[in-house]
Amino acid sequence: MKKMVAQQVEEVRRLYKNKRQLTHQFLNLGMVIISALMVWKGLIGLTVGESPIVVVLSGSMEPAFQRGDILFLDNNRPKLEIGDIIVFKIKDREIPIVHRVLDLHTRASDGRDLYLTKGDNNNVHDRGLYAPGQLWLERHDVVGIARASVPYLGYATILMNDYPALKVLALGVMVILAFTQRE
Q: Among 17-21, 143-147, 170-174, which range has the highest average pLDDT?
A: 143-147
The CATH number of residue 144's host domain is: 2.10.109.10
Q: Is 120 a catalytic residue?
A: no
Domain of 170?
2-47+158-180
The band of 17, judged by pLDDT with boundaries at 50, 70 and 90, is confident
Same domain, 42 and 62: no
Same domain, 67 and 148: yes
The pLDDT of residue 7 is above 90:
no
**pLDDT tens-place string over residues 94-110:** 899 999 999 999 988 99
The pLDDT of residue 4 is above 80:
no
What pLDDT score does 167 carry? 87
Q: Give the Cα separation of 71 and 56 in Å (integer).
A: 7
Same domain, 138 and 166: no
pTM here is: 0.75
Q: Is 99 a catalytic residue?
A: yes
Q: Which residue of the set 58, 92, 126, 141 is catalytic?
A: 126
Q: Rounded to whole angstroms, what are the CA distances from 129 to 38, 57, 118, 123?
A: 34, 15, 10, 13
Count of beta carbons in the 10 Å neighbourhood of residue 144? 26
Q: Is 140 a catalytic residue?
A: no
Domain total in the chain: 2
Q: Give the Cα separation of 95 and 87 in Å (integer).
A: 10
Q: Which residue of the set 51, 92, 99, 113 is catalytic?
A: 99
Same domain, 17 and 60: no
Q: Which residue of the set 60, 69, 141, 149 is catalytic?
A: 60
